[in-house]
Amino acid sequence: MSQAILAVKNLVRHFGSVRAVDDISFSLQAGQVVGFIGANGAGKTTTMRLLTTLDVPDSGEILYNGQDIVAHPREAKGRIGWMPDGFDPPDHTTVHDYLDFFARAHGLCGSPRVTEVERILQFCGLQELRVRYVNKLSKGQTQRLSLARTLIGNPDLLVMDEPAAGLDPAARLEFKQLVRTLQQQGKTIFISSHILSELAEMCDSLIFMHQGRIIYSGSCQELSQLQNRGIVYLLRPTPATLQHTLAHLQQNPDWQHATPLPDGTIQATFTGATEAELPAALRRLCQENDLLELVRHQLNLEESFVTLLLEQHEQQISL
């Protein structure tokens, strides 16, 4: 049974009137890869900066292996690796010298430093680029260098902010393989993105953030069960009757979350108590609307996220 390497309790961080992190609690189990998902401005980077001691919370607790990192940042710093979403490469510095500099900054000297830099160059596939200037690397190579820097000192927990953003499919695959290998080595990985499908393949569990709050936390399988709660249909009315169909769905208790999509279709969730009621509901829908197409639809992760947000929005309106 794995134990929580990191426990976050009632964490709050605001900037003026913006509650960037609004009373969140979660934990990371040792050896897990956990995805941290949210739209731009959801509060992911602010949370990650708090976890890596780059910022301090207004209130709440962050425990690393049971120890409060706000009170004892120095101890935690060495064990938590931070990979920021931006990288500002210095001029006239080679890949080797860049990593050597950070190894020195970690307090490594002599042969342990040489060994550590060589280990990381090899792990990240950077040996052949060791004399290349860091500001001449491709995006994928730059991300591998950023990961290499994060691995100096062999941290147990890696916190990565949007590491796969902007990578082409081949570089993204390479990156995923590195993440898998790090997990096999026993590391705990907390990785953010606003692209769900990117994370779902490599994560054991997911945490969704929206406007500073956690709106979902669970395994990828639980999420797919959640998305199966409703039976979702895509309807294509004739363009002239789109508004009529939308109004029909919004006023009809058989359906909820009726949402027009940019391609002229409408997505709606069947809300009947049992699936046996579905044929009659579909018949009524077809009789009372001018539909060109009606297909049952399996939500992907991105769509599930949007559906969750819609449900939350509707609940707020009905309060």
Q: How far apart are CA 146 and CA 54, in angstroms?
A: 17
Is 137 near ligand ATP (CB under 6 A)? Answer: no
- Binding segment for ligand ATP (CB under 6 A), chosen from 2-10, 42-50, 241-249, 271-279, is 42-50
Per the CB < 8 A criterion, the answer to whether 9 and 63 are in contact is yes
With CB under 6 A as the contact rule, the residue among 23, 29, 41, 224 that binds ligand ATP is 41
Per the CB < 8 A criterion, the answer to whether 234 and 267 are in contact is yes
Question: Using N-to-C axis directions, what is the helix angle for 110-123 and 95-105, rounded to 10°?
Answer: 130
Nearer of residues 15 and 115 to ligand ATP, judged by Cβ = 15
Q: How far apart are CA 177 and CA 196, in angstroms?
A: 18
With CB under 6 A as the contact rule, the residue among 32, 35, 38, 285 that binds ligand ATP is 38
Q: What residue type is assigned to position 178 of the chain?
A: L
Nearer of residues 144 and 194 to ligand ATP, judged by Cβ = 194
Q: How far apart are CA 209 and CA 38, in angstroms?
A: 5
Contacts of 144 (CB under 8 A, 6+ apart): 124, 125, 126, 174, 175, 178
Q: How many residues does the chain have?
A: 319
- Provide the token pair at 239: 């363009």
Contacts of 252 (CB under 8 A, 6+ apart): none
Size of the site for ligand ATP (CB under 6 A): 12
Question: Using N-to-C axis directions, what is the helix angle for 169-184 and 139-151, rounded to 10°?
Answer: 20
List the one residue out of 263, 264, 258 whose CA is nearest residue 246: 258
Is 31 near ligand ATP (CB under 6 A)? Answer: no
Is 58 near ligand ATP (CB under 6 A)? Answer: no
Is 15 near ligand ATP (CB under 6 A)? Answer: yes
Is 42 near ligand ATP (CB under 6 A)? Answer: yes
Residues 203-232 that bind ligand ATP (CB under 6 A): none
Q: How far is the CB of 16 from ligand ATP (least distance, A)?
A: 7
Is 193 near ligand ATP (CB under 6 A)? Answer: no
Is 40 near ligand ATP (CB under 6 A)? Answer: yes
Is 302 near ligand ATP (CB under 6 A)? Answer: no
- Binding segment for ligand ATP (CB under 6 A), chosen from 39-47, 129-137, 149-157, 230-238, is 39-47
Three-point CA angle 175, 177, 181, nearest 5°:
120
- Binding segment for ligand ATP (CB under 6 A), chosen from 40-48, 264-272, 276-284, 287-295, is 40-48
Alpha-helix runs per DSSP H in 81-195? 95-105, 110-123, 139-151, 169-184
Is 46 near ligand ATP (CB under 6 A)? Answer: yes
Is 248 near ligand ATP (CB under 6 A)? Answer: no
φ/ψ of 21, rounded to 5, equals -130, 115
With CB under 6 A as the contact rule, the residue among 149, 172, 187, 194 that binds ligand ATP is 194
Is 50 near ligand ATP (CB under 6 A)? Answer: no
Is 150 near ligand ATP (CB under 6 A)? Answer: no
Q: How far is the CB of 156 from ligand ATP (least distance, A)?
A: 23
Nearer of residues 20 and 99 to ligand ATP, judged by Cβ = 20
- Binding segment for ligand ATP (CB under 6 A), chosen from 27-35, 44-52, 240-248, 301-309, is 44-52
Q: Note the residues at the interface with ligand ATP (CB under 6 A).
A: 15, 18, 20, 38, 40-46, 194
